[in-house]
A and B are shown apart, each in its own frame.
Chain A
Amino acid sequence: MSKLRLFQRDIINSLKRSNMTAIGAVLIIMIIAASLSSEHFLDEYNLKAVVRDLAFIGMIGIGQALLLLIGELDLSVGKIATLCGVIAGMLMVTSGLNPFLSLALALTLGILLGALNGLIITKLRLNSMVVTIGMAGVYGGVTLVLTKGKAVTNIPAVVHFLGKGNLGLVPLPFVFTLAVLIGALFLVKKTKTGRYIYAIGNNKEAARILGIKVDRIRIFNYGVMGFISALAGILYVARLGSSQASIGENWPMNSIAASVIGGVALTGGVGNPAGALIGAAIISVIQNMIVLLGVNVYWQSAVSGFVVVAAISFGSISAIVRDRKQRKAKMQALAKINPGEKNCGQT
């Protein structure tokens, strides 16, 4: 078999396995529906705004997908993003440090905070959800102590460009998201660590018996999540031009929703980080449509929440419908063979 064909088969297999084709189709349908229902959807300005929005949820969603693959999650992503964004801002504005050095320090802090989550979860054998809810409180609290609730303004223009600027037509944050995606895909498809992530998500005990250093990989994943959170936080600060304590409020839930819509199983071991990006795109298109269609401001949150739940249920509803149909067909076939025997119940 030629290399190319092997490669093609690889792609086809991974597409089949992660149901990516179905999710991609849903996204395309939504885009078509959006452009038909609102003439402004395809405006360059609108599209750029949507892409800039989805860059953040997409990026966090990719990290969340890595954690979901080992059957865990991180609800402190938004607070890590805020803290790192604020610290980057304070370093470059208040302390007058070189902007890029400040960014590097903030990213490193993100890795450390993520790894701290991982350390607590693995070494104390605690549940990831409970620990990260608690740590979200800690990180959010530290941010408030540092800023006393005030925003840090006057972010240097070079940094501002990272969040506000475009590469050609593409908003820069989305370029970073694509870079994160390529990194994540390389990790899960092409490295030992990636394969171990799937092994752990499939069967943690079997992975230990195979000699895989399970806790080390778990901590690694939390570190990656921390890094991505910090990156998203910094880009958001760059986009706003000021760092404030309120960014990333809805990132934890939206990133998990994006992963689940993208076909990553909450139980671990199944899915593809690319799905999370498609999921994030679906969520962003939904939210954009709600705005474009002029839904009452007070209703927006309820409507977008409902549509997200509907999107998550999509896969499982189609499975239920399929089961029903099969059962009905079989009952009819049986009724033909045994006419008149409607109640063959217990005596």
Chain B
Amino acid sequence: MPVLEARRLTKVFPGVTALDSVDVAFEPGRVHCVVGENGAGKSTLIKCLTGVYEPDGGEVLVGGRRRGPADRTAFRRVAYVPQEIDLFGHMSAAENLFLPYNQSYFRGLVSQRRLEERAWPWLERFRIDVRPDQLVKDIPISSQQLLQVARATVNEDYEALLLDEPTTSLTDGDAAALFDVVRRLKAEGKAVIFISHKLEEVFALGDELTVMRNGEAVGHSELDRLDVGAVITLMTGRPIDREEVFRSGAVTDEPLLEVENLTGERFASVSFRLNRGEILGFYGLVGAGRTELMQAVFGYLPAYAGRVRLAGAELKLGDPSAAVRQGLIYLPEERKKYGILPQLSVRENASISALDRLGAFLGLSAARENALAAEVVAAYDVKTPSLEQAIEYLSGGNQQKIVIGRAMVCEPRALIFDEPTKGIDVGTKTEIYRMMKKLAEEKGIGIILISSEMEEIIKCSNRIIVLYEGQKSGEFMGGTNKDQILSAAFGVVKN
């Protein structure tokens, strides 16, 4: 009997049917994957299955009985691991694990020593290589992710474990460690629900698969009866060429961005050159210093030494507004934290970088601003109910399109894309790759692509630079063999 089930589940938001009569059942001892493009309804499904949303139609069954969101104890049987890491950085691993200390030492008192004693077996069970008293902010991202899973399962009577894109911030090696844990939980008879954009992982880990599209469950099958192509076709409703490459066909040898011996907090003495019309990939393990390096190039983080030149002109270090003015724009990885202005409208988010051009006799011209925002929405195919919609309510892919569109309004010379497709579905990913290629080829823009996805780096980059612990450990031409790049990322070879 399924431990968690949705029957004819329907959820309607103003203007959108997020879930349309979805049936899905999760059996104990199975890994059930759910895939779908952004906006397919996965998040809404999760929120209904964890009792956050009240469905408008149909029902959610936990342990075979119908449950409403008010039934908190029933939903405690569904352990949920959110996509983004939301641990308390300045508290220890043990404290994070047992918060809110339901079984604490004595009513209202917390014994640090007992917490740490109780934490050891959990850390071992999930192969988290940290001490219970280490602060979470000081432990690696991979351990943080595993700690989140451990925390969700500390409540012992859970029957279903829901993992929402658990590997987005992990490298392939760390993901493998997580999968071992998932396999063990499955062997213990838990129902594991695995939501991911990475199909390789789905095929490696899953037993069965549900595909969602436009709020409907369009397919359900045992995974060994499917192949990747069929799944993609189901997800997008159209076949996608997986072999398509997106390297720029208009690389020049005219230098655009020159970085010399740049040194900062997490990287040392890095030099590289980006040419006009080129897509330059930066690969490395999480924590290799790619983001920190690029944020320092852009001026957001301080650089201790070195110089950066853009189109021949010296760039003032430590001043992002100078970089933007000279035509270098950084598109951050964490859209929520660094990219969007959440409560402002699509219109205001789209126009914020171009206000200089919207001046009229008496201040900003509303008509011109609307026209500009409408242009961005149309050019980058943003799906939004209106220009006045607050951007925080759009899906991740649509937010990313606005962030890119907004950058392009400034007519930049060079763009730094930091993990541009993180948490974005296969169909939209391809759109973003095409967009980058087009920008490089038609406008001669130089593009730096930071990515942890090997396939993405190989498909898109004309040249690839690998960082290892803050230093350049390799430089390769596009289309290089994966193994070589990977060994440079692990610091095995230096060339």
Q: Number of A-B pairs whose CB atoms are under 8 Å?
A: 103
- Residue in contact with A210 in the complex, picked from B324, B337, B388, CB distance below 8 Å: B324
Least Cβ–Cβ distance between A333 and chain B, in angstroms? 8
Question: How distant is the Cα of A6 from the Cα of B323 in the complex, in angstroms?
Answer: 35
Instruction: Known contacts A209-B330, A212-B321; decide if A202 and B338 are in contact (CB<8 Å).
Output: no
Question: How distant is the Cα of A209 from the Cα of B307 in the complex, in angstroms?
Answer: 20
Question: How distant is the Cα of A189 from the Cα of B362 in the complex, in angstroms?
Answer: 11
Q: What residue of chain A has the Cβ atom nearest to residue B329's Cβ?
A: A211
When the two chains form their complex, are residues B70 and A330 in contact, meaning their CB atoms are under 8 A apart?
Answer: yes
Question: How distant is the Cα of A269 from the Cα of B352 in the complex, in angstroms?
Answer: 14
Q: Give the interface size class of chain A.
A: 35 or more
Task: Give the residues in chain A near B329, CB-CB below 8 Å.
Answer: 211
A 1-28 binary contact with B (CB < 8 Å = 1; else 0): 0010011001001000000000000000
A270 at interface by CB-CB < 8 Å? yes
Question: How distant is the Cα of A211 from the Cα of B299 in the complex, in angstroms?
Answer: 10
Q: What residue of chain A has the Cβ atom nearest to residue B65's Cβ?
A: A344
A198 at interface by CB-CB < 8 Å? yes
A100 at interface by CB-CB < 8 Å? no
When the two chains form their complex, are residues B73 and A345 in contact, meaning their CB atoms are under 8 A apart?
Answer: yes
When the two chains form their complex, are residues A6 and B366 in contact, meaning their CB atoms are under 8 A apart?
Answer: yes
B261 at interface by CB-CB < 8 Å? no
When the two chains form their complex, are residues B344 and A199 in contact, meaning their CB atoms are under 8 A apart?
Answer: yes
Which residues of chain B from 297 to 354 have any CB-CB distance to chain A below 8 Å in the complex? 298, 300, 320-321, 323-325, 329-330, 332, 337-344, 348, 351-353
When the two chains form their complex, are residues B73 and A195 in contact, meaning their CB atoms are under 8 A apart?
Answer: no
Q: What residue of chain A has the Cβ atom nearest to residue B390's Cβ?
A: A17
Question: How distant is the Cα of A316 from the Cα of B155 in the complex, in angstroms?
Answer: 33
When the two chains form their complex, are residues A198 and B341 in contact, meaning their CB atoms are under 8 A apart?
Answer: yes
Segment among A84-92, A169-177, A227-235, A334-342 that sits at the interface with chain B: A334-342
Task: Give the residues in chain B near A6, CB-CB below 8 Å.
Answer: 366-367, 370
Instruction: Known contacts A6-B366, A13-B388, A189-B363; decide if A210 and B68 are in contact (CB<8 Å).
Output: no
Task: Give the residues in chain B near A334, CB-CB below 8 Å.
Answer: 66, 68, 70-71
Instruction: Known contacts A209-B300, A209-B320, A346-B76; decide if A203 and B364 are in contact (CB<8 Å).
Output: no
Task: Give the residues in chain A near B388, CB-CB below 8 Å.
Answer: 13
Question: How distant is the Cα of A344 from the Cα of B74 in the complex, in angstroms?
Answer: 7
- Residue in contact with A270 in the complex, picked from B157, B300, B343, B355, CB distance below 8 Å: B343
When the two chains form their complex, are residues B66 and A337 in contact, meaning their CB atoms are under 8 A apart?
Answer: yes
When the two chains form their complex, are residues A209 and B332 in contact, meaning their CB atoms are under 8 A apart?
Answer: yes
Q: What residue of chain A has the Cβ atom nearest to residue B336's Cβ?
A: A203
Least Cβ–Cβ distance between B68 and chain A, in angstroms? 4
When the two chains form their complex, are residues B341 and A203 in contact, meaning their CB atoms are under 8 A apart?
Answer: yes
Instruction: Known contacts A199-B344, A209-B332, A346-B157; decide if A330 and B68 are in contact (CB<8 Å).
Output: yes
Question: How distant is the Cα of A110 from the Cα of B363 in the complex, in angstroms?
Answer: 26
Task: Give the residues in chain A near B74, CB-CB below 8 Å.
Answer: 344-345
Q: What residue of chain A has the Cβ atom nearest to residue B295's Cβ?
A: A209
A 211-222 binary contact with B (CB < 8 Å = 1; else 0): 111000000000
B69 at interface by CB-CB < 8 Å? yes
B67 at interface by CB-CB < 8 Å? yes
Instruction: Known contacts A198-B341, A330-B70; decide if A10 and B300 are in contact (CB<8 Å).
Output: no
When the two chains form their complex, are residues B337 and A205 in contact, meaning their CB atoms are under 8 A apart?
Answer: yes
Question: How distant is the Cα of A337 from the Cα of B344 in the complex, in angstroms?
Answer: 41
> Could you tell me which B residues sit within 8 Å of A by CB distance?
54, 65-71, 73-74, 76, 157, 298, 300, 320-321, 323-325, 329-330, 332, 337-344, 348, 351-353, 355-356, 362-364, 366-367, 370, 388
Q: List 29 A-B contacts (CB under 8 A).
A: A6-B366, A186-B363, A191-B364, A192-B356, A192-B364, A198-B341, A203-B337, A203-B338, A205-B338, A206-B341, A207-B341, A209-B298, A209-B300, A209-B320, A209-B330, A209-B338, A209-B339, A210-B324, A210-B353, A211-B325, A330-B54, A330-B68, A334-B66, A334-B71, A337-B66, A344-B65, A345-B74, A346-B157, A347-B157
> Could you tell me which A residues sit within 8 Å of B by CB distance?
3, 6-7, 10, 13, 186, 189-192, 195-196, 198-199, 202-203, 205-213, 269-270, 327, 330-331, 333-334, 337-338, 341, 344-347
In the A-B complex, list the 4 residue pairs whose CB atoms are closest, starting with the nearest.
Answer: A190-B363, A211-B324, A202-B341, A211-B321
